[in-house]
Amino acid sequence: MANSLQAVRGMNDLLPGETALWQSLEATLRTVLAGYGYQEIRLPLVEKTELFARSIGEVTDIVEKEMYTFADRNGDSLTLRPEGTAGCVRACIEHGLLHNQTQRLWYVGPMFRYEKPQKGRYRQFHQVGAEAYGMVGPDIDAELICLSARLWRQLGIRDVTLQINSLGSSAARAAYRERLVAYLTTRHAELDEDSRRRLHTNPLRVLDSKNPAMTAVIAEAPSLLDHLDPDSQDHFAGLRALLDAAGVAYTMNPRLVRGLDYYCKTVFEWVTDTLGAQGTICAGGRYDGLIAQLGGEAVPGVGFALGLERLAAMLAATGYPATEPPPHVYLILAGEVAQRMGLALAERLRDEVAGLRLRMNCGGGSFKAQFRRADSSGARFALVVGDDELAAKTVSIKPLRAAQTAQLTLPEDQAIAYLQAAMQDGQP
């Protein structure tokens, strides 16, 4: 396919055969989010670059090397959003949504990161995110986790486990960071290149290394959980008690540090081993300092985002039922006059028969060819309008799926009543 135009690497088309699954997935997500009182917020795809540098953190992978940043015609530095939390906080501050009130918000849409594309990791990918503001206790953390657990149940996903950790307050983390750097320095010879680089920029991320050669160094590192401040300890104990009471199983993972800088206290990830290397389908945590850091009031926040490509891949593997429904009616227009009259009839049928999915034959074709198309469309009925029918102001109806059912010829009004009745009988 030399010289042909292709999509940008890591940015995928979603073809008609795949969209039914996505629509069904999105509908389930909307229903579950509404069940917890979350309201949708729609945010721009592009924000000022500074927003991400100041929230996600200057020395994170995302900001250092994964952002799609460009100067607009005015010379302003803009960035395609790599995630949704920063923009959501920016919008809430800008529109005064956080003053003396709580918020439960959600969003869906594409995010952009210049990562190495592979299965489950793309440069344009889609997240559904949920963010809650103004609630300081672990009850809202636990509710968000219950919400995500309900999503998996509703979607029939079983192979996921929940990992939780607490990062503590920023002061506790700073003290821990010093101890960790001191420890890692004693093991310097065993550190891989990435970890050496991170040692002085973002040492907590060393704990997150997936390199098997680093396993021993990481296993023997001091644990963040032993360095939590009392408030974070209480919060974490409160969260665990709530999850226990709600029957949500979890594992404590003291190495879970997340790749964005804004977190404090609770962090969590839902992981699966059915997707290969990119096994995190949903991740989030608390970010109590972020709103003030971006110029808002000192309001706490907590949330998560899930990756729709990863979820869709899991669902496709479980045979999740999602196909576009076939039309109820295929309208065959035999003859020139019928072709002229067909559009008005099709519109009348759609007006009068609630919920009708009607596909009109366009582009002509012999009667036989049109019948073949009607059959392969999967429609339940072929409706035939030809010269005879037009002269008598009738329509012929041929059931295509029922064995041995003869064609009926009915006046238009009766044909409409027939279709209305057929729509009630529960058959597709």
Interface with ligand HAM (CB under 6 A)? 83-85, 113, 115, 120-122, 125, 127, 129, 131, 259-260, 280-285, 303-307, 309-310
Closest approach of ligand HAM to the CB of residue 181, in Å: 24
- Number of Cβ atoms within 10 Å of the Cβ of 178: 12
Task: For ligand HAM, give the closer residue by CB, 86 or 184.
Answer: 86
Task: For ligand HAM, give the closer residue by CB, 183 or 320.
Answer: 320
d(CA 323, CA 18): 8
d(CA 327, CA 343): 16
Closest approach of ligand HAM to the CB of residue 35, in Å: 19
Kindly give the pairing relationship between strand 39-40 and strand 103-112.
Answer: parallel
54: helix, coil or strand? helix
d(CA 74, CA 201): 33
CA distances from 88 to 103, 106, 367, 369, 390 (A): 11, 9, 56, 53, 58
Binding site: what residues are annotated? Answer: 83-85, 113, 127, 131, 258, 262-263
Task: For ligand HAM, give the closer residue by CB, 45 or 421.
Answer: 45
Closest approach of ligand HAM to the CB of residue 405, in Å: 49
Task: For ligand HAM, give the closer residue by CB, 216 or 298.
Answer: 298
Closest approach of ligand HAM to the CB of residue 117, in Å: 8
Closest approach of ligand HAM to the CB of residue 286, in Å: 8
- Number of Cβ atoms within 10 Å of the Cβ of 412: 16
Q: Which amino acid is at 271?
A: V
Closest approach of ligand HAM to the CB of residue 337, in Å: 54
Structure tokens at 233: 């300890």
End-to-end CA distance of the chain: 41
Nearest of 319, 304, 303, 282 to residue 120 by alpha carbon: 282
Please give the residue whose beta carbon sits closest to ligand HAM in the complex: 307
Contact 314, 343 (CB under 8 A): no
Task: For ligand HAM, give the closer residue by CB, 266 or 396.
Answer: 266
Structure tokens at 28: 């389930």
Task: For ligand HAM, give the closer residue by CB, 203 or 284.
Answer: 284
Q: Which helix (H) or strand (E) holds 185?
A: helix 170-186
Binding site for L-histidine: what residues are annotated? Answer: 83-85, 113, 127, 131, 258, 262-263
73, exposed or middle or buried, with CB in 10 Å at 0-12, 13-18, 19+? exposed
Structure tokens at 66: 């994964």
101: helix, coil or strand? coil
Closest approach of ligand HAM to the CB of residue 101, in Å: 19
Structure tokens at 95: 């529109």
Task: For ligand HAM, give the closer residue by CB, 282 or 419.
Answer: 282
Closest approach of ligand HAM to the CB of residue 351, in Å: 43
Task: For ligand HAM, give the closer residue by CB, 129 or 342.
Answer: 129
Q: Which helix (H) or strand (E) holds 396?
A: strand 394-399
